[in-house]
Amino acid sequence: MHQSIKNIAILGSTGSIGTQALAVIAANPDLFCVQVLTAQSNVELLIAQALTFKPKAVVIGDEAKYQELKEALKNLDIDVKAGQEALCEVVVMPQLNMVLTALVGSAGLKPTIAAIKAGKDIALANKETLVVAGELINSLAKKYHVKILPVDSEHSAIFQCLVGEESDIEKIYLTASGGPFRGKDFEFLANVTKNQALKHPNWVMGAKITIDSATLMNKGLEVIEAKWLFDLAVEQIDVIVHPQSIIHSIVQFQDGSMKAQMGVPDMKLPIQYAMAYPKRVQNNFKRFNFLEYPTLTFEPADIKTFRNLALAFEALNQAGNMPCILNAANEVVVAAFLNEEMGFLQMSEVIETCMAKLDFVQEPSLEDYFETDKQTRIFAKHLVTNI
């Protein structure tokens, strides 16, 4: 029995994905065991999680909170660490089978690489890592024989549709809810507040991805994520707005046949699928009822108004370090918008300026990605300050 237990590290355990992953693990103690928990600053929740799940190691990103964490866990046999570098140390622990990357932003890149090099399968929620360095991550995953299992609901949907298929994909349709501002025009968007943007119609998620959903950058990042996960050309990826978020995405095969994966929106399902793959696990999540959704609707994405989605396609077409520039600029503007330092529409303007002005590198090395990320953040912050 014990051999079949999967030992998992959760990077970002206090977040939306992290806490839902812990709920899945708590419901399946015979399948999963948490060995590592990490958080950036929410030390209270990290302590509570550590006391409940008794992992082998915990990491707090904010070093100022290390003493509090250490003190609270002193009677347990837990390795307590702090700082960004510690993430790379804990993911290589020999007993680990899988690392769930549920942290936000390009901060996920280094620990993901460390985990792959240590041969750990990756349950990937941290889409920014694939956006920044998808090609490099893929080649490392191949070299070290690790699986990259998608947690993002759309990519999980496509992954599930591909099980058992040997034929080529003609194209995929990534579904998008359209976010809280679907159908709105520039005039409306010019004045929307952070609180309006934080109200997503179908999903409760972390602040960054919720803003990304409102600007459609989330779908843009997902297009790039899909390219690397499923080895697709840009032309093979289409976005279709489906406001009910019941169909999570669609694969169209070379004979024109289409497969869709559907269900009520609940991230615990894709999280559980990635963790238990190739098995499915019985659960008590809410089941879909057709009569509650007599109509499922579809419409094109408005990329003229929501320019971030067009910018993401543009970055993917240019390739090289351009998606890295797009991502870093986006991380800066989302943080600034959440700080009420800039307006909703100005976010796209800053990203576009960064894409035009930063040094383009056609075949970036890992060092180039770190440098691009750094330089873009400096420049984007400068642009934000001068708004």
Q: CB 199 → ligand NAD: shortest distance, Å?
A: 15
Q: CB 30 → ligand NAD: shortest distance, Å?
A: 26
Site string for ligand NAD, 82-121 (x = CB under 6 A): --------------------xxxx-x--------------
Residue 128 binds Mg ion (CB under 5 A) = no
Answer whether 225's CB lies under 8 Å from 131's CB: yes
Q: Which token pair is 136? A: 């490099």
Q: Which of residues 309-328 bind ligand NAD (CB under 6 A)?
A: none
Q: Which token pair is 115? A: 């985990």
127 binds, among ligand NAD, Mg ion, none (CB under 5 to 8 A by kind): ligand NAD
Answer whether 335's CB lies under 8 Å from 351's CB: no
Q: CB 174 → ligand NAD: shortest distance, Å?
A: 12
Distance of CA 106 to the CA centre of its chain: 10
Site string for Mg ion, 138-157 (x = CB under 5 A): --------------xxx---
- Phi/psi zone of residue 242: left (φ > 0), alpha (ψ -120 to 50 degrees), beta? beta
Which single residue brings its beta carbon nearest to ligand NAD? 15
Q: CB 75 → Mg ion: shortest distance, Å?
A: 40
Residue 370 binds ligand NAD (CB under 6 A) = no
Q: CB under 6 A: which stretch of 201-209, 234-242, 283-291, 301-309 binds ligand NAD? A: 201-209
Nearer to Mg ion, 203 or 360 (CB): 203
Burial 289-325 (b: 16+ CB within 10 A, else e): eeeeeeeeeeeebbbebbbbbbbbbbbbeebbbbbbb
What is the DSSP annotation of 58-98? EEESSGGGHHHHHHHTTTS--EEEESHHHHHHHTT-TT--E
Distance between CA 233 and CA 205 in Å, rounded?
Answer: 29
Distances (CA, A) of 254 to 36, 111, 165, 168, 285: 42, 37, 11, 6, 34
Q: CB 125 → ligand NAD: shortest distance, Å?
A: 3
Distance of CA 158 to the CA centre of its chain: 15
Residue 122 binds ligand NAD (CB under 6 A) = no
Q: Which token pair is 239? A: 């976005």
Nearer to ligand NAD, 75 or 273 (CB): 273
Q: Which of residues 263-302 bind ligand NAD (CB under 6 A)?
A: 267
Cα 127–Cα 226–Cα 345 angle in degrees, nearest 5: 65
Q: Which residues are annotated as a binding site for 1-deoxy-D-xylulose 5-phosphate?
A: 127, 153-154, 177, 200, 213, 218-219, 222
Residues in the site for ligand NAD, rule: CB under 6 A?
A: 12-18, 39-40, 42, 61, 102-105, 107, 125-128, 152, 203, 205-209, 267
Q: Which residues are annotated as a binding site?
A: 14-17, 42, 126-128, 152-154, 177, 200, 206, 213, 218-219, 222
